[in-house]
Amino acid sequence: MIETPMLWLVPIAAAVSIFLAFFLRKKVTSAEAGNEDMVRIQGYIKEGASAFIARQYKTLAVFVAFIAVIIWLVYTFNEHAESEGWLMALSYAIGSIASAFAGWVGLQVGVNANSPTAWAAQRGIAPAFNVSFFGGAVMGLLVTGIGLIGIWLLFYITGSPSYILGFSFGASAIALFMKAGGGIYTKTADVGADLVGKLEFNLPEDDSRNPAAVADNVGDNVGDIAGMGSDLLDSYIASLVAAMLLGFSLFNQAANVVQQHAFSSYPLIISAAGLFSSIVGIVIVSKLVKNSPGDALNAGTLVAAILYGVISALFSLLLVVTTPTTPVDLSGRIWLNWLAGVFGVGAGLIIGFTTNYFTDDNQKPTRITAEATQQGHAITILTGFSLGLLSILPTILGIVLAMVVAWFCNGVYGIANAAVGMLAIVGTIVSNDAYGPITDNSRSLAEQGKLSEETIKICDSLDSAGNTAKAVTKGFAIGAAALTVLALLYSYSEEARSIIGGGAISFNLLDAGTMIGMLIGAIIPPVYSAILIRAVQKNAGKMVEEVRRQFTEHPGILEGKEKADYARCVDIATKGALQELTIPAIMSIAAPLITGVLFGVEALGAFLASSIATGFIFGVLFGNAGGTWDNAKKFVEDGNFGGKGSSAHAAAITGDTVGDPFKDTAGPSINTLICVMGLTASMFLVLFTSINGGNGLIQLPDLAAFL
């Protein structure tokens, strides 16, 4: 049992969050859904989303069971952990179920909120915004509430954060399936709908005559609500696990049991502060919206961040007061970690608002990209890609600043708490993210329900803010993943040292095995991205052929006399996504396993370090370039540079089509990838250390042997 009274704040915060999530769910689902056409289309969307999730979860059930058995075998037959097998496997299964449940509930609310949002838009921006934002808030509150209650329960019962590693690994593995599969699905439909509907037949956005339109709407929900929610739950839990593991191991000898539990509990306690801050931020956002939904979302994020600094300071003070000061000076360390967490939030804001600058259609980069559409398709691609590369610089500087300050605060434990701080207000961040696809779908349903032009313009305004909010969320996610996996790397190194014995684990690049591990790790994120983008390309090609077939064989569809076969397009996207996600999912676990088994613990550490670097770069590039192209297209469609139907519009659509798998498939999946690989390394460390003392099956001669 844990002897830290402040830890009881965690289940209280989680319970409030979950209760509020279900209260808002009831509020959203009871809103008026709209006219007959809107209700019918929403039914198609809900049916398609439910069918995809059901088929995906059947696949995942087999995967989870298989990995649980592997975990049980590895731990049961290892001398360092033989008594931990069943509990670690159970923890993994619980984490998997928690992630799947959060995704499923968020998805159900999302598909039920889109039509009411469009219908409420007839009464103005504020009513429509609140329906969509409350729908997103259900996901945000569930992610944090479920994550916190699961970690608290395991920690409280076992007294050790080691078992939470299994919980985090389960959540991450499910998130990878959800994000990669949902990303392939949504962009298969989106790209297919744009290439044929817009470019070839000059149909309006989300026209009900387009057979891929409903599949596109379904994809927004499975990719950006279920997928992104599971993704941020994964990063949230992983950041907590890394900090708790470091706190437990670093203060194992220097502190008594009560202090050790206090250090381990601290990340959970300040996360409870972040959850209370997020709840207040969500309430404030709903009150601030007038004519600018984007300003309301940004204000809510800032308010939540400021409140986090204040509430976490209060909780830190209470922890210091309620914990004995000997044999270690707890007070100074706690306050330094609080400072690291505050700077982590600051770094998250830098990354988020950098993303906002590079993707908002009111800012210069998107305007430059929109202007470039007048010069053709190639110039549009070059402009967006180069600006995406440029956007990496301030994002990296934000991470570096957080790391420097956190290191001065409390070394590696400070960096771990900076990651926790960055994700402390994840309830607000996920709410903003899930708001995006709801408003995207609402715009579609307003069009398909033949609502007034003024109503459609309001939905467009909500959708534009949603696009930027999603981009900011992706920036937060990749930045937090980078800090989280760095913390996992440190905890991995510390745990390896304690198992093997001796000095610290070093990653010497003059050692051939370490260099090999570094090179393998560096190539995994780009290869993973290539597989996902290629999957979208192949499946989008099938979607294009299907849409053309329907228009050719059934000309009555274009005339509005015959209904399109939406089910066929939904089926193409579903089958394609489930088939194509197998290889990237296996790669995320197999790559670190093979590296650790063949080349040892130090090579695997180098593998993780290089995968963080390349993964971070690719994740930021893909997310920001894709967001820039997307909003540049919307800027042209608003009547600039020739507007809809012009040559500039055609080039803008090309940019958006290229950017779709960048920002919604490969980019946001990379942060899940690096988290899964970091957790796999830590999860199976007992296996790697048992092979030739941690040196792996292939032991390359030391350089000195040749001199």
DSSP per-residue letters across 213-229: HHHHHHHHHIIIIIIHH
Per DSSP, the residues of 412-423 read: HHHHHHHHHHHT
Answer yes or no: is pLDDT of 19 > 60.
Answer: yes
pLDDT at 520: 95
Confidence at 699, pLDDT banded by 50, 70, 90? confident
Q: List, for residues 71-126, the tens digit of each pLDDT value.
A: 888 888 776 555 577 888 888 998 888 888 877 877 777 788 888 888 888 888 88
Residue 270: closest CA among 337, 208, 368: 337
Question: Is 533 within 8 Å of 666 (Cβ atoms)?
Answer: yes
- Mean pLDDT computed over every residue of the chain: 83
Confidence at 256, pLDDT banded by 50, 70, 90? low
> What's the DSSP call for residue 326?
-
Q: Which residue has the higher pLDDT, 43 or 256?
A: 43
pLDDT at 328: 59
d(CA 641, CA 69): 59
pLDDT at 2: 57
Q: List, for residues 549-561, the tens digit of each pLDDT value.
A: 888 888 888 887 8
Domain ranges for the chain: 5-700
Question: Is 268 within 8 Å of 239 (Cβ atoms)?
Answer: no
Question: Is 595 within 8 Å of 514 (Cβ atoms)?
Answer: no
Q: Which residue has the higher pLDDT, 467 or 608?
A: 608
Per DSSP, the residues of 343-370 read: HHHHHHHHHHHHHHHHH-TTSHHHHHHH
Q: List, for residues 322-358, the tens digit of each pLDDT value.
A: 777 665 567 777 888 888 888 888 888 788 778 888 8
> Which residue has 């808002």 as its token pair?
24
Type of residue at 578: L
Maximum separation of any 2 CA atoms in the chain, in Å:
82
> Which residue has 């007070």 as its token pair?
331
Find the mean pLDDT for residues 623-646: 89
Confidence at 529, pLDDT banded by 50, 70, 90? very high
Answer yes or no: is pLDDT of 705 > 80.
Answer: no
pLDDT at 380: 95
pLDDT at 502: 61
Task: Locate 357 and state its tokens.
Answer: 């600058």
Task: Judge if the upstream peptide bond of residue 365 is cis by omega within 30 degrees of 0.
Answer: no
Q: List, for residues 399-423, the tens digit of each pLDDT value.
A: 888 888 888 887 888 888 888 888 8
